[in-house]
């Protein structure tokens, strides 16, 4: 279970970094989204993987840590807002610079 | 528990929300609200400075949850100093913006207040995840402020800035997650305790998370090689925005100081030694910034490179991790912020009087007010380059004195060569702008008092810092020794009482 989860994070990060290094804005935005998915999953895993346990401390039974879930929620909201912003900014750059290259220096389309 | 601590966050938040409601109905009232809130920050910051000056830590428990379970705000000498600096720079930048720059795009006043909310929050918070949240608030406001006034140049620089900082945020979350997985806490004081007691086999993970944090904060502070975004963004931003951004790199530097002295102290029982790269990186940043300032083709880009130089100088002092080094950095920090903010505004005044040539170093019609702007530029250049008698010289002198003769070679060489290069760049810029003119008759109207006053005040504060150098240095020294004894911080936070 841990191995699968860790591998998923790794694949998402690898794809995200690869796409974020591309020259056009659309792949870059996709790469940033993949990275933020990877980060959300990673944050969720920091509370350790526990199944069927209540998120309450006290008592001797194993418990699930509720804090990472609250952190992930915050990270998702922030990540969502930032992605929306970067999409709009990319569209504006496409309009103002005449192409969708991140440096604005590709051939005019 | 004093409720004063939460006011630097609540005041801009309330003003920002109020401005949001006023945006459609009464855009004129927005200016008044923004001005009142920003002016209100100044007495508040002075009150907090008086509270912290005695060396006591003030702790505010949000929602009255005891630390480490709830989020705390912590005020010490360093936070109080930075809050005061933010209030000063913000007020003067806003006064300049009220001359018409705030109408060059939408929602300037809302974003300005949210930016202040993020900056003040980052300086006050005692919780690592909360620091991330305040970073995001100040970043998203700065993304829009950097684009204020629009134009392709700003859009191109803004896109790089946004993408880089989104990557930085991801790294920040990974570092925070790793630290939480190891220690089970996010409160900075509690983290310090848990890391000091961590098992040896976790040293590698701790080191990785500390280095990730250094990368994230280094990106904000424009530490080499993460400085490449800065000249384009600062050089193209609207003048009051660029002046406010002078404080933004200091947020990164503040975060580096806080984490390296509190959470990962080199002198602790379980040293992580992740900040060993800092001295070399700081000097390289300084050198690259100095070379960049020499190669700039516009005045605003030159000043942006001076911001890079100042980041390098500050981190070179901080990386000594002794009282003398941090004292020098804490004296130099307000000086460089005020002077670069003043120079950004002055560059805008110059650009307005040169017509289409703006602030480029090519011949243009003479300025409408060559004497006044020339004197101001000379004052700013002397302060920025670190020539006697102004505060830049004192700051650099303190820094040079902080190293023992044996290990002084690299620091002395780079700092002195950097100052010399900055001096050449600034004098070349000045002679091209003020003396190398063509044609007769100025292209722009002379600047009136409301535009000149913020510039005069910002540069005048550098003179004031020289006159009051003794009390400021004493305060910086007290702040530095407080930073190097994290034990008291930890005790203050973990044993703080809630309000009844």
pLDDT score recorded for residue B369:
82
| For residues A37-56, average pLDDT | 85
pLDDT score recorded for residue B269:
59
Q: Is residue B6, in this structure, part of any structural domain at all?
A: no
Q: Is residue B424, in this structure, part of any structural domain at all?
A: yes
> pLDDT tens digits, residue range A68-77?
888 999 999 9
Q: Is residue B480, in this structure, part of any structural domain at all?
A: yes
Query: Coil, strand or helix: which one is A24?
Result: strand
pLDDT score recorded for residue B343:
94
Give yes or no for residue B136 having a pLDDT over 70.
yes
Contact residues, chain B, for A86 at CB < 8 Å: 162-163, 166
pLDDT score recorded for residue B213:
92
pLDDT score recorded for residue A107:
63
- Judged by CB atoms closer than 8 Å, whether chains meet at B163 and A86 is answered as yes
> pLDDT tens digits, residue range B80-93?
999 999 999 999 99
Give yes or no for residue B500 having a pLDDT over 60.
no
- Judged by CB atoms closer than 8 Å, whether chains meet at B173 and A32 is answered as no
* Calpha distance B383→B434 (Å, rounded): 19
The number of C-alpha atoms within 13 Å of A78 and in the hemisphere containing its C-beta is 27
Give yes or no for residue B450 having a pLDDT over 90.
no
> Which of B176-185, B332-341, B342-351, B441-450 is predicted with the least confidence, judged by mean pLDDT?
B441-450
d(CA B10, nearest CA chain A) in Å:
20
d(CA A36, nearest CA chain B) in Å:
6
| B265 burial type by CB count under 10 A (0-12 exposed, 13-18 middle, 19+ buried) | buried
Q: B337 falls in which pLDDT band (50, 70, 90)?
A: very high
In 3D, which of A105, A108, A104, A21 has the Cα closest to residue B158?
A104
* Calpha distance B400→B413 (Å, rounded): 10
pLDDT score recorded for residue B344:
94
| For residues B454-473, average pLDDT | 92
Instruction: Name the average pLDDT for chain A.
Output: 87
- Name the residue facing A85 among B129, B140, B150 (closest C-beta): B140
Q: Is residue B35, in this structure, part of any structural domain at all?
A: no
CB B248 within 8 A of CB B90: no
Query: Coil, strand or helix: which one is A27?
Result: helix
pLDDT score recorded for residue B321:
84
CB A56 within 8 A of CB A6: no
Q: Is residue B114, in this structure, part of any structural domain at all?
A: no
> Which of A100-109, B123-132, B223-232, B312-321 is predicted with the least confidence, judged by mean pLDDT?
A100-109
| For residues B174-179, average pLDDT | 93
Q: B270 falls in which pLDDT band (50, 70, 90)?
A: low
* SS3 per-residue string spanning chain B: CCHHHHHHHHHHHHHHHHHHHHHHHCHHHHHHHHHHHHHHHHHHHHHHHHHHHCCCCEEEEHHHCCCCCCCEEEECHHHHHHHHHHHHHHHHHHHHHCCCHHHCCCCHHHHHHHHHHHHHHHHHECEHHHHHHHHHHHHHHHHHHHCCCCCHHHHHHHHHHHHHHHHHHHHHHHHHHHHHHHHCCCEHHHHHHHHHCCCHHHHHHHHHHHHHHHHHHHHHHCCCCCCCCHHHHHHHCCHHHHHHHCCHHHHHHHHHHHHHHHHCCCCCCCCCCCHHHHHHHHHHHHHHHHHHHHHCCEHHHHHHHHHHHHHHHHHHHHCCCCHHHHHHHHHHHHHHHHHHHHHHHHHHHHHHHCHHHCCECCCECCCCCHHHHHHHHHHHHHHHHCCCCCHHHHHHHHHHHCCCHHHCHHHHHHHHHHHHHHHHHHHHHHHHHHCCECCCCCCCCCCCHHHHHHHHHHHHHHHHHHHCHHHHHHHHHHHHHHHCCHHHHHHHHHCCCCCC
Q: How many CB pairs under 8 A join A and B?
A: 86
CB B398 within 8 A of CB B333: no
Q: B267 falls in which pLDDT band (50, 70, 90)?
A: low
Q: Which domains does chain A have, with CATH numbers?
A: 2-50+64-97 (1.10.287)
pLDDT score recorded for residue B272:
65
* Calpha distance B227→B311 (Å, rounded): 10
CB B119 within 8 A of CB B41: no
Contact residues, chain A, for B163 at CB < 8 Å: 20, 28, 32, 86, 102
| Chain A interface, Cβ < 8 Å to B | 20, 25, 28, 32, 35-36, 38-39, 42-43, 45-48, 65, 67-68, 71, 74-75, 78-79, 81-82, 85-86, 89-90, 92-93, 96-97, 102-104
Q: Does B314 or B363 have the greater pLDDT score? A: B314
- Judged by CB atoms closer than 8 Å, whether chains meet at A42 and B136 is answered as no
Give yes or no for residue B316 having a pLDDT over 60.
yes
| For residues B170-197, average pLDDT | 91
Which helix (DSSP H) or strand (DSSP E) does residue A67 occupy?
A: helix A67-97
Q: Is residue B190, in this structure, part of any structural domain at all?
A: no
Give yes or no for residue B1 having a pLDDT over 70.
no
Give yes or no for residue B332 having a pLDDT over 90.
yes
In 3D, which of B299, B370, B369 has the Cα closest to residue B340?
B299
* Calpha distance A13→A37 (Å, rounded): 9
Q: Is residue B153, in this structure, part of any structural domain at all?
A: no
Phi, psi of B286 (to 5 degrees): -60, -45
pLDDT score recorded for residue B301:
93
In 3D, which of B68, A27, B473 has the Cα closest to residue B59?
B68
| For residues B314-330, average pLDDT | 90
Domain extent, residue B427, equals 275-484
Q: B127 falls in which pLDDT band (50, 70, 90)?
A: very high
- Name the residue facing A96 among B152, B163, B181 (closest C-beta): B152
d(CA B177, nearest CA chain A) in Å:
5
Q: Is residue B375, in this structure, part of any structural domain at all?
A: yes
Give this complex's ipTM: 0.93
User: How many structural domains compose chain B?
Assistant: 1
- Judged by CB atoms closer than 8 Å, whether chains meet at B155 and A92 is answered as yes
Q: Does B310 or B366 have the greater pLDDT score? A: B310
Contact residues, chain A, for B177 at CB < 8 Å: 39, 42-43, 45-46, 68, 71
* Calpha distance B42→B7 (Å, rounded): 12
Hey, which of A14-18, A92-96, B195-199, B206-210 has the most confident mean pLDDT? A14-18
pLDDT score recorded for residue B309:
93
User: Among residues of chain B, what percentage have pLDDT more than 90?
Assistant: 51
- Judged by CB atoms closer than 8 Å, whether chains meet at A32 and B160 is answered as no
CB B113 within 8 A of CB B471: no
Contact residues, chain A, for B170 at CB < 8 Å: 32, 35-36, 38-39
Instruction: Name the average pLDDT for chain B.
Output: 89
| For residues B367-381, average pLDDT | 88
Q: B480 falls in which pLDDT band (50, 70, 90)?
A: very high
Tell me the longest C-alpha to C-alpha distance in chain A.
66
pLDDT score recorded for residue B67:
79
Find the residue in A nearest to B163 (Cα).
A86
| For residues B52-74, average pLDDT | 87
Q: B246 falls in which pLDDT band (50, 70, 90)?
A: very high
- Test mutation, B166, B169, B228, chain A, max A CBs within 10 A: B166
């Amino acid at each position: 279970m841990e191995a699968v989860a860790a591998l998923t994070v790794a694949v998402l990060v690898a794809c995200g970094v690869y796409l974020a290094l591309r020259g056009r804005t659309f792949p870059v935005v996709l790469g940033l989204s993949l990275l933020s998915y990877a980060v959300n999953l990673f944050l969720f895993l920091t509370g350790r993987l526990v199944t069927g346990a209540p998120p309450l401390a006290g008592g001797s039974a194993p418990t699930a840590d509720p804090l990472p879930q609250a952190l992930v929620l915050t990270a998702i909201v922030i990540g969502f807002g930032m992605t929306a912003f970067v999409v709009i900014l990319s569209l504006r750059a496409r309009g103002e610079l005449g192409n969708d290259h991140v440096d604005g220096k590709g051939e005019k389309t | 528990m004093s409720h004063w601590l939460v006011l630097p966050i609540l005041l801009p938040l309330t003003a920002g929300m109020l401005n949001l409601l006023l945006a459609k109905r009464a855009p004129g009232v927005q200016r008044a609200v923004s001005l009142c809130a920003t002016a209100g920050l100044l007495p508040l910051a002075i009150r907090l400075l008086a509270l912290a000056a005695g060396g006591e830590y003030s702790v505010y428990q949000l929602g009255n949850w005891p630390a480490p379970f709830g989020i705390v705000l912590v005020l010490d000498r360093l936070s109080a100093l930075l809050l005061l600096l933010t209030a000063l720079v913000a007020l003067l930048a806003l006064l300049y913006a009220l001359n018409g720059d705030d109408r060059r795009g939408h929602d300037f006043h809302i974003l300005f207040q949210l930016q202040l909310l993020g900056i003040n929050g980052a300086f006050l918070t005692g919780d690592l995840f909360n620091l991330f949240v305040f970073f995001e608030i100040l970043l998203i406001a700065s993304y829009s402020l950097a684009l204020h006034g629009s134009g392709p140049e700003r859009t191109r620089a803004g896109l790089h800035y946004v993408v880089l900082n989104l990557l930085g945020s991801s790294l920040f979350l990974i570092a925070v997650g790793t630290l939480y997985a190891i220690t089970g806490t996010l409160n900075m004081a509690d983290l310090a305790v848990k890391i000091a007691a961590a098992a040896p086999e976790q040293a590698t993970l701790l080191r990785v998370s500390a280095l990730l944090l250094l990368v994230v904060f280094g990106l904000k502070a424009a530490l080499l090689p993460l400085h490449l975004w800065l000249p384009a963004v600062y050089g193209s931003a609207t003048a009051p925005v660029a002046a406010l951004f002078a404080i933004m790199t200091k947020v990164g530097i503040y975060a580096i100081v806080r984490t390296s002295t509190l959470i990962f102290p080199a002198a602790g029982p379980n040293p992580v030694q992740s900040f060993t790269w800092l001295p070399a990186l700081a000097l390289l940043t300084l050198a690259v910034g100095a070379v960049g300032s020499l190669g700039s083709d516009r005045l605003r880009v030159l000043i942006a490179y001076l911001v890079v130089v100042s980041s390098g100088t500050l981190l070179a002092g901080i990386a000594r991790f002794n009282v003398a080094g941090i004292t020098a950095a804490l004296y130099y920090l307000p000086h460089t912020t005020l002077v670069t903010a003043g120079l950004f505004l002055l560059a805008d005044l110059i650009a307005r009087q040169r017509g289409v040539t703006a602030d480029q170093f090519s011949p243009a019609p003479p300025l409408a007010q060559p004497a006044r702007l020339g004197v101001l530029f000379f004052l700013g250049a002397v302060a920025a380059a670190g020539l006697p008698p102004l505060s830049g010289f004192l700051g650099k002198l303190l820094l040079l004195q902080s190293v023992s003769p044996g290990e002084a070679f690299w620091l002395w060489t780079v700092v002195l060569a950097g100052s010399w290069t900055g001096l050449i760049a600034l004098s070349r810029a000045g002679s091209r702008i003020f003396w190398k003119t063509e044609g007769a008759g100025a292209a722009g109207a002379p600047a009136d008092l409301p535009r000149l006053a913020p510039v005069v005040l910002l540069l005048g504060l550098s003179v004031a810092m020289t006159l009051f150098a003794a009390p400021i240095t004493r305060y910086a020294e007290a702040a530095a020794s407080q930073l190097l004894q994290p034990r008291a911080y930890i005790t203050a936070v973990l044993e703080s009482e809630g309000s009844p």
